[in-house]
């Protein structure tokens, strides 16, 4: 197993399941490949290409194609199932609403891309475009396509009711071949609280749509826009669109260059027994999220003290954004899987994210000897059940098990520059890490901590609660051991469910050991088949 702890492994596995569900239920960015292009659906009803007068409104189904565009967004994204995907060319759809080249699409199609290329009807070469306004919560974006004098679509002014005939226009699966599919509005006010958006309601429709249709228009037979397609539940044969009525509330602001209910991320909500939050796949340069240091692959777990996405939707996240003005300071907590850190900071503040908690920072004033930083290596106990990262100089290792009174109660591993020195003096740093299910029969929470008493030898500095993505428990800190600056940190923690107890004891002698303390606690792992 890699240096990622089991807690991270479990969560990432769960994310993989979530991602698989997203792939079947939501029109995410569709990577443009030759295979995708060659296998694009042929069952759609393609309209004859008829370009409207330059700078004029496209009319009728035959004219719609002239104002519908294919968008290729190239950038690097972090997928919860596949990890970082560099130089990915995602494809979506959009439609022009002004002859100057202003077009509407989805936030998830464009946000976080390094650049956009837009294919306009009848042109072999793409045009560049820039994003001018986005809304994460409404999953809408407005882009400006290079050039002018474009045909455009107008908004339908009729009532949108169940049974309204509609057509979805766009470029499914990244296929450059335009398609048009027929259906009806099957529900005029479907629930708009989902893991990819948060609006009062959305249109449910029956027109066939796939990945790559995202951002394309729903139009009437007169070629006027009813809504913007943004997602599908393929396994349920259900599709969704943002209605004209919902879009009209914010499109003027987006067109004017203002973001609405957005911090500049391309992300989605998820929730499981261990963790919930907003998974960030990409971040827009210059946005509040980018300025505070949020990166692709981060999980925004808390905002303004509220745990996000506990119900698996964007609701709480978006309610917080709606309750504040753009530019208001917003506190955030971030789980960063790449470094296994919990970070905190303030959006629209003056400083970037910092560690939410660090044992090294906590004890730095109490350990006064200096030392060079360590290099680290990964070690296992003899049974391959426990793993952690330790300094390479802690090369005296015993992985025979957790021994109490001559009885092995579970896997255990100790490491130090000299185990004899670690066990018998205050001058040698080191660590012991054990896990046991046997002890659960005889101990209650905190019993292990109570059993380790250095009174008379060290100064007790108190007990604090401990919590990470999987484990909860408590830790004790002992200072000035044996009349030296040495500190001891002892952790007792339990996973959920409480199948075993984890015990970690670390002896800190120097500044470098403070760093080692954080590395060990970020990397320890109980490998469970």
Task: Provide mean pLDDT across the span 308-333.
Answer: 95
pLDDT tens-digit readout, 438-476: 998 888 877 889 999 999 999 999 999 888 767 889 999
Which fold does the domain 267-356 belong to in CATH?
A: Pdz3 Domain (2.30.42)
Question: Quick one: tokens of 506?
Answer: 């670390």
- Among 156-160, 350-354, 422-426, name the one with the lowest average pLDDT: 350-354
User: Taking residues 124-134, what's their average pLDDT?
Assistant: 95
Mean pLDDT within 342-350:
92
- Ranking 100-104, 128-132, 226-230, 233-237 by mean pLDDT, the lowest is 233-237
Phi-psi region of 410 (alpha: psi -120 to 50; beta: other; left: phi over 0): left
**How many Cα neighbours within 13 Å face the side chain of 99?**
9
Q: For residue 497, is the peptide bond before it cis, meaning its omega torsion is within 30 degrees of 0? A: yes
Residue written as tokens 């911090």?
263
The Cα 255–Cα 142 span in angstroms is: 6
Bridge partners (DSSP) listed for residue 377: 390
Residue 309 token pair = 């996405």
Over residues 173-224, the pLDDT tens digits come to: 888 999 999 999 999 999 999 888 999 899 999 999 988 999 999 999 999 9
The answer, yes or no, to whether residue 31 has pLDDT greater than 80, is no
Report which DSSP code applies to 455. B
* CATH assignment of 29-255, among 2.40.10.120, 1.10.10.10, 3.40.50.1220, 3.40.50.300: 2.40.10.120
CATH class of domain segment(s) 368-526: alpha beta
CA–chain centroid gap for 203, Å, is 27
What is the per-residue pLDDT across 355-373, written as a single tens digit (0 to 9) for each? 876 666 666 666 555 556 7
Q: Is pLDDT of 44 > 80?
A: no
24-38, 122-136, 365-379: range with highest mean pLDDT:
122-136
- 405: confidence class by pLDDT, cuts 50, 70, 90: confident
Whole-prediction pTM value? Answer: 0.63
Average pLDDT on 325-336 reads: 93
Please provide the distance, in angstroms rounded to a whole number, between the alpha carbons at the two ends of the chain.
11
* Distance in angstroms (rounded) separating the CA atoms of residues 194 and 90: 22
Radius of gyration of the chain (CA): 28
User: What are 45-87's pLDDT values in tens digits?
Assistant: 333 333 334 558 998 999 999 999 999 999 888 877 667 777 7
Lowest-confidence region among 274-278, 307-311, 330-334, 467-471: 467-471
Q: What percent of the chain has pLDDT over 90?
A: 66
Q: Can you give the residue ranges of every domain in the chain?
A: 29-255, 267-356, 368-526
In 208-294, which ranges are E strands? 217-219, 225-233, 238-243, 265-271, 276-283
**Whole-number mean pLDDT of the chain?**
85
* pLDDT band, residue 103 (cuts 50/70/90): very high
- Is residue 36 very low, low, confident or very high in pLDDT (cuts 50, 70, 90)? very low
pLDDT of residue 211: 86
Q: What is the pLDDT of residue 25?
A: 38
């Amino acid at each position: 197993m890699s240096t990622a702890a089991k807690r991270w492994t479990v969560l990432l596995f769960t994310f993989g399941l979530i991602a698989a569900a997203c792939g079947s239920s939501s029109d995410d960015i569709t990577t443009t490949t030759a295979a995708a292009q060659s296998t694009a659906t042929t069952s759609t009803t393609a309209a004859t290409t008829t370009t409207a007068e330059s700078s004029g409104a496209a009319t009728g189904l035959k004219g719609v194609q002239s104002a519908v565009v294919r968008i290729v967004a190239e950038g690097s994204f972090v997928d919860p199932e596949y990890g970082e995907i560099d130089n990915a060319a995602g494809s979506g759809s959009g439609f022009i609403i002004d002859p100057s080249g202003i077009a509407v699409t989805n936030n998830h199609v464009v946000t976080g891309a390094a650049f956009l290329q837009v294919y306009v009807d009848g042109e072999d070469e793409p045009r560049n475009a820039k994003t001018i306004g986005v809304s994460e919560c409404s999953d809408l974006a407005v882009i400006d396509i290079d050039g002018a004098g474009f045909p455009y679509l107008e908004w339908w002014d009729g009532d949108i009711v169940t049974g309204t005939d509609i057509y979805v226009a766009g470029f499914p699966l990244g296929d450059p071949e335009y398609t048009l599919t027929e259906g009806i509005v099957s529900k005029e006010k479907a629930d708009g609280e989902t893991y990819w958006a948060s609006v009062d309601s959305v249109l449910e429709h029956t027109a066939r749509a796939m990945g790559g249709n995202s951002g394309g228009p729903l139009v009437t037979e007169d070629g006027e826009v009813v809504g913007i397609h943004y997602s599908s539940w393929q396994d349920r044969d259900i599709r969704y669109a943002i209605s004209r009525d919902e879009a009209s509330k914010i499109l003027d602001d987006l067109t004017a260059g203002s973001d609405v209910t957005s911090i500049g991320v391309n992300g989605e909500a998820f929730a499981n027994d261990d963790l919930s939050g907003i998974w960030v796949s990409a971040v827009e340069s210059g946005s509040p999220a980018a300025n505070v240091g949020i990166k692709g692959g981060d999980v925004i777990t808390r905002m303004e003290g509220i745990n996000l996405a506990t119900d698996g939707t964007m609701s709480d996240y978006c309610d917080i954004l709606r309750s504040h003005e753009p530019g208001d300071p917003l506190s955030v907590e971030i789980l960063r899987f790449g470094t296994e850190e919990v970070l905190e900071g303030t959006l629209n503040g003056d400083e970037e994210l910092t560690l939410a908690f660090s044992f090294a920072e906590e004890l730095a004033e109490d350990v006064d000897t200096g030392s060079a930083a360590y290099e680290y290596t990964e070690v296992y106990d003899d049974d391959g059940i426990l793993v952690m990262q330790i300094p390479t100089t802690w090369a005296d290792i015993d992985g025979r098990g957790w021994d109490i009174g001559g009885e092995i109660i579970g896997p255990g591993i100790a490491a130090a520059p000299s185990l004899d020195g670690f066990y018998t003096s205050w001058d040698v740093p080191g660590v012991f890490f054990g896990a046991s299910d046997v002890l659960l029969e005889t101990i209650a929470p905190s019993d292990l901590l109570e059993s380790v008493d250095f009174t008379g030898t060290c100064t007790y500095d108190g007990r604090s609660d401990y919590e990470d993505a999987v484990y909860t428990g408590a830790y004790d800190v002992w200072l000035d051991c044996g009349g030296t600056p040495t500190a001891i940190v002892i952790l007792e923690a339990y996973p959920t469910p409480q199948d075993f107890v984890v015990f970690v004891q670390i002896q800190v002698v120097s500044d470098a050991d403070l760093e080692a303390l954080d590395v060990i606690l970020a990397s320890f792992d109980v490998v469970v088949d």
